[in-house]
Chains A and B, each alone.
Chain A
Amino acid sequence: MAERQRELRVVTEAETKTHCPYCAFQCGMAVTVTEADRSRVSVRADDDFPVNRGQMCIKGFTSAALLEHPERVRSPLMRQPNGRLVPVSWDSALDFVAEKLAALRRAHGPAALAAFGSGALTNEKAYLLGKFVRVALGSPNIDYNGRYCMASAAAGQNRAFGVDRGLPFPVSDLAETRTLLLWGSNCADTMPPIMQWVAAQKSSGGALIVVDPRHTDTARAATLHLQLTPGTDLALANGLLALAIQEKKLDRDYIAARTEGFAELERSLLTSHPAFVERLTGVAIDDQLRAVRMLADVPSSMVLTGRGAEQQSKGTDTVLALINLMLALGKVGKPASGYGCLTGQGNGQGGREHGQKADQLPGYRLIEDPQHRAEIAAVWGIEPSALPGKGKSAYELLDSLGEGGGVRGLLVFGSNVVVASPNAEHIKKRLGALELLVVCDAFVNETAESAHVVLPVTQWAEEEGTMTNLEGRVILRQRVRPAPSGVRTDLEIMRELAERLGAAGFRFESTEAVFDELRRATRGGKADYSGMSYAKIRAAKGVFWPCPDSEHPGTPRLFAERFAHPSGRARFHAVKYRPAAELPDHDYPLYFTTGRYKEHYNSGAQTRRVAALVDAQREPAVEIHPRLAARLGVLDGELLLVESRRGRVEFVVRVSPDIRVDTLFAPFHWGGKRAANVLTVAALDPVSRMPEFKVCAVRARAAVSSPRSTL
């Protein structure tokens, strides 16, 4: 029946295979545009794409609603002296931006210019943006919102394995593993189609463990839920390994053959007593023990982390502790086993491989490695000495905006930093201190409200390019319909600006021509794309990197034989527990943590404009335990005023026994007066520079409209 319907559709309408614009699962979609009316776009899940296999969530299902959205920007906008944004021509907008950039550079040096990128950008855009900042602007300052997303997992994997690919195996391996541990991931809400693999795993008799301070929809499906205290993930991870040692569950042969550094780690864990771990985390020793046995006593097991474990000021160490555990159990590199990260953003993976990060160059090269610099300089036709050094990380970059910090002109591509950054009110003030803020986006989002210039860009259905999904599978986004008049691609904007600034090397005949240069730039790097082409990706439904030559089929699974360090061995890291940067105290006695709704995506810049999604989830609510709600004197649906040392927000109350009694939760998809990130703290992980979105201290009381009470 479905088959027949599809055939019928193909006869009368053009159907194009592409991918969802949202998360890293990058569901395959079949998009149909009616020949007669190109504005009518319908979307269905692609049954043939091996990742989502015909499933998709409500976000993808409704994604076409943004294409013809009435609020879409269809002409460049410039801020007038009266404070309003008014439409101008492309030439005058680009001339203005280029002149201003040049003037700021003359007056204050190239480091006064910066760009902020996004995990939503295609590989081609991420690559060209890195090149644009370093070559056309000559500045070291480029970073992206992936720093708020997977940076801790990336840093941890690089240290332990010598390479960072979100999942070192295809997502289908999830169905094969005997024990699956999801740590700090509520993927039932954040990545719903992945649950088919979890369901398959469970129905074939596998066990599911979920670690989360909330009893989420994902936890509801679990065999064992460890509802730990926010910010104590590292203690629990270390504790599990200490218990595994005590219970003699280690694979000593594997440790000897494939790893290094275990002796030091083992000694450091001697003081990680289960009783201390229980006291810190609230997770009963018996449950710790059950988890260890479930992971160790089976032929295959895997741990996948989400932002819960990673978005902490010790996120990198937490990831390392979990990798330690899986290495010590001898699981990494075995079939359907090991460690992986559930990448968040659509191209969070590719976005960190091609030089969009302050410390990196294409091919996952390091900007401070002389050989890596020389290799990229050769591709770009410049002297290695002309290549700037390491720039500021995302939050530090935004924190340095304005006269005092040194960055005076900022270009933002595909990111809504005002909503997505911690300590958001502070960041809004910093943006206000800029002499030039250019926002490239399809909508006037909260960040664009401070912009001097808004440049309207194409959306997913109107462009082509590659994305690298959570598995490290490079896939092809195909054009479904032409761009509406008045908008341009990010690539065109970079080219126009580069040429106005007198830089060569930005004129490409097609998007694939950019990809071809990217491929050359990645040759010999860790994330090697050099053997790929659009045709090859299209035919194979995606190619896993590394793919070093055109005959190479790609690499679905890593680590079966060796790790990417020169020794071929994985490295253990002795990582010590430390508390969160801000703990509840007398004045701010509650934990506050943030997360997502199924119906919204990141800063909500897109999803808050889709009627069906807003209808399903209209506003952010603060989740609160019935006992705490009773103590504070608030009822479901009333307003709760939540305050941290950085700001205050009024949330609607949602009473639920699913949350710990000492913790409040709110989603961060909204801006303005409902922005959860007004409350969060900008404590950064020392390695990944990831902010601590998942834990800070707050106090709460009924808002004036409700009966008063203070805690």
Chain B
Amino acid sequence: MITHKRRLVIIGNGMGTCRLLDELVERDAARRYEISVFGEEPGGAYNRIMLGKVLGGDAPDAIVTKTPEWYDAHAIRLTHTTRVTRLDTLRKTLETSDGQHRQYDVAVLATGSQPVVPPLEGMQGEDGELRPGVFVYRTIADCLRMRAYSRSGDSAVVVGGGLLGLEAAKALSDLGLHVTLVHVAKSLMNAQLDALGGEMLGRQIERAGIFVRTERTVEAVFGDERVHGVILNDGTTLTADMVVLACGVRPRVDLARASGLPVNRGIVVNDTLATEVPGVYAFGECAEHRGTTFGLVSPVWEQATVLADVLTGSKPRARYTGSKLYSRLKVAGVDVASMGKLEPELEADQVYQIIEERKSAYRKLVIRDGRLIGAMLVGNTAATGTLIQHFDRDEPLPDDPLEVLCQPRATRAPAARLVCSCHKVTEATLVAAAEAGADSVAALGEVTKAGTGCGSCKVELEEIARKHGKSARSLPTVASA
């Protein structure tokens, strides 16, 4: 019997929290908890994956997953535009930047991540803020600022050739800007693709109108009250009206540090998503689980489910044991999928690569003991659905693993299939009869008796007569060479 409700406070209001709230509501958590959420950004949660839409011109509301009314309707107290600065984990209170204090019983840190801002010369103005024209790409506000600043015909340099950088480059290119992407590694998306894959992607990106410069870094940003360009480490100077920094993200751990929680790269949690401090949990991009931090949404959602199971007691023994890494996206119009390992590790690991040189398409499978441990696809992703299911479930691959890359129905159904069940006539018999001249339903019926019982197979007989009858075969099968 619960005599009073416990206070559950969630710090951070991003995609992880959005999912956690759904999971909590589904488990009727309100019976046990008074839930409050603190968010630094204004308004309700939104889908960060769709930021490109806002940069491209959609209204911010188009990507809002939970309006403030949603929180009200579910009796969840939302305090937005407010940063939590410290938890007193002994007294179980939290403190906000505007001086509020709030009691809690259980705290969940979902503070997410923050953009890595490299210390470039000239990047900051005299006030220490980013120089006008220099942007990071993380929030709705960032997108709105970039959109307001950008004019078609302007030039932009995007620093970073990972997922976010490519997305920003594409959105700016679509707004009519001249876009150059500068990437430090040898090839694009090097966290998800091997060198060849990244190169193929790079070629396609260039075809889409974006200039790519790999193996280069930005040495300095120059300008006056506004940015005017960048200098690369190879000495090249690129003029630019905008510079977008997309150099990756790192877990946001400032609050955890200030509160004395154990922090490594991220906030350290166990399989229940608990920190070692009683009553404090963490999940999502800010958390470090078994030495790994995550920057993709699927693992975060999986963690949210486990956390909801544990906190509500709906499955108190639920545990998060890690996630299979998978990214699937369309970058600058190019379909890309990547799962698991990029390269073989053991001597016995098998690798298959298919290079479509002219199309700049690339497919690679990494196989161990007949099972898929990694795959990447650039430009030709039709088999992704099949591959990811094999990868997720450790499903054995066909003896010839390349079969999984083909359309699932490489083999036709057996011709022994009954078409006419009244007279037990198989497809093979009918095809043979049609080829021997029985090229109408009536003729097939006379020869094989098919269709002379209930008649329900007549539609199919018609098709067989049409496809395999003499008149069909007399037509040229190929129009021209």
Partner of B453, one of A61, A217, A270: A61
How close is A507's CB to chain B, nearest CB, in angstroms?
41
A648-677: CB near B (< 8 Å → 1, else 0) gives 000000001110011000000000000000
- Assembled-state Cα–Cα distance A54/B454 (Å): 10
Known: A229-B389, A276-B298. A285 touches B413 (CB 8 A): no
Known: A286-B382, A612-B422, A656-B414. A662 touches B389 (CB 8 A): yes
A/B pair count, beta carbons within 8 Å:
112
Which residues of the other chain, A, contact B458 by a CB distance below 8 angstroms? 55
**A278 contacts partner chain B, Cβ-Cβ < 8 Å:** yes
**Of all chain B residues, which has the CB nearest A225?**
B409
**B421 contacts partner chain A, Cβ-Cβ < 8 Å:** yes
Is the pair B389, A58 in contact by a Cβ cutoff of 8 Å? no
User: What are 22 A-to-B residue pairs whose CB atoms are below 8 Å?
Assistant: A45-B454, A55-B456, A57-B454, A58-B422, A58-B453, A58-B454, A192-B456, A195-B456, A199-B459, A215-B409, A270-B50, A270-B65, A279-B389, A284-B381, A284-B382, A284-B384, A598-B456, A616-B421, A616-B422, A617-B421, A626-B411, A657-B413
**Of all chain A residues, which has the CB nearest B382?**
A284
Partner of B329, one of A220, A275, A612: A275
Is the pair B411, A657 in contact by a Cβ cutoff of 8 Å? yes
Interface residues of B (CB under 8 A from A): 18-19, 22, 26, 47, 49-50, 63-67, 298, 326, 328-329, 335, 381-386, 388-389, 392-393, 395-396, 398, 408-414, 418, 421-422, 424, 453-460, 462
Is the pair A282, B328 in contact by a Cβ cutoff of 8 Å? no
Is the pair A267, B395 in contact by a Cβ cutoff of 8 Å? no
Is the pair B422, A227 in contact by a Cβ cutoff of 8 Å? no
Is the pair B385, A278 in contact by a Cβ cutoff of 8 Å? yes
**Of all chain A residues, which has the CB nearest B414?**
A656
Interface residues of A (CB under 8 A from B): 45, 54-58, 60-62, 192-193, 195-196, 198-199, 215, 217, 220, 227, 229, 267, 270-271, 273, 275-276, 278-279, 281-286, 576, 584, 598-599, 612, 615-617, 626-627, 631, 656-658, 661-662
How close is A606's CB to chain B, nearest CB, in angstroms?
16
Is the pair A275, B396 in contact by a Cβ cutoff of 8 Å? no
Q: Beyond the given A45-B455, A199-B459, A662-B395, could you list 15 further A-B residue pairs with CB under 8 A, ordered by the A residue number? A: A57-B456, A58-B453, A199-B462, A215-B413, A217-B460, A270-B50, A271-B18, A282-B386, A282-B388, A284-B382, A615-B424, A626-B411, A631-B396, A657-B411, A658-B413
Which residues of the other chain, A, contact B381 by a CB distance below 8 angstroms? 284-286
Is the pair B388, A279 in contact by a Cβ cutoff of 8 Å? yes
Is the pair A61, B408 in contact by a Cβ cutoff of 8 Å? no
- Assembled-state Cα–Cα distance A286/B47 (Å): 23
Which residues of the other chain, B, contact A270 by a CB distance below 8 angstroms? 47, 50, 63-65
Is the pair B454, A61 in contact by a Cβ cutoff of 8 Å? yes
Which residues of the other chain, A, contact B328 by a CB distance below 8 angstroms? 275, 278-279, 285
How close is A148's CB to chain B, nearest CB, in angstroms?
25
Which residues of the other chain, B, contact A616 by a CB distance below 8 angstroms? 418, 421-422, 424
Is the pair B392, A220 in contact by a Cβ cutoff of 8 Å? no
- Assembled-state Cα–Cα distance A710/B22 (Å): 40
Is the pair B326, A279 in contact by a Cβ cutoff of 8 Å? yes
Partner of A285, one of B335, B393, B396, B460: B335
**Of all chain A residues, which has the CB nearest B411?**
A657
How close is A219's CB to chain B, nearest CB, in angstroms?
10
How close is B337's CB to chain A, nearest CB, in angstroms?
8
Which residues of the other chain, B, contact A54 by a CB distance below 8 angstroms? 455
Is the pair A285, B384 in contact by a Cβ cutoff of 8 Å? yes
How close is B101's CB to chain A, nearest CB, in angstroms?
33
Is the pair A60, B454 in contact by a Cβ cutoff of 8 Å? yes
Which residues of the other chain, A, contact B412 by a CB distance below 8 angstroms? 657
- Assembled-state Cα–Cα distance A658/B408 (Å): 9
Which residues of the other chain, B, contact A284 by a CB distance below 8 angstroms? 381-385
How close is A528's CB to chain B, nearest CB, in angstroms?
34
Which residues of the other chain, A, contact B47 by a CB distance below 8 angstroms? 270-271
Partner of B395, one of A62, A278, A661: A661
- Assembled-state Cα–Cα distance A161/B397 (Å): 46
Which residues of the other chain, B, contact A62 by a CB distance below 8 angstroms? 454
Is the pair A656, B456 in contact by a Cβ cutoff of 8 Å? no
- Assembled-state Cα–Cα distance A195/B453 (Å): 17
**Of all chain B residues, which has the CB nearest A269?**
B65
- Assembled-state Cα–Cα distance A34/B329 (Å): 70
Which residues of the other chain, B, contact A627 by a CB distance below 8 angstroms? 396, 398
How close is A194's CB to chain B, nearest CB, in angstroms?
10
- Assembled-state Cα–Cα distance A61/B458 (Å): 15
Which residues of the other chain, B, contact A215 by a CB distance below 8 angstroms? 409, 413
**Of all chain A residues, which has the CB nearest B63?**
A270
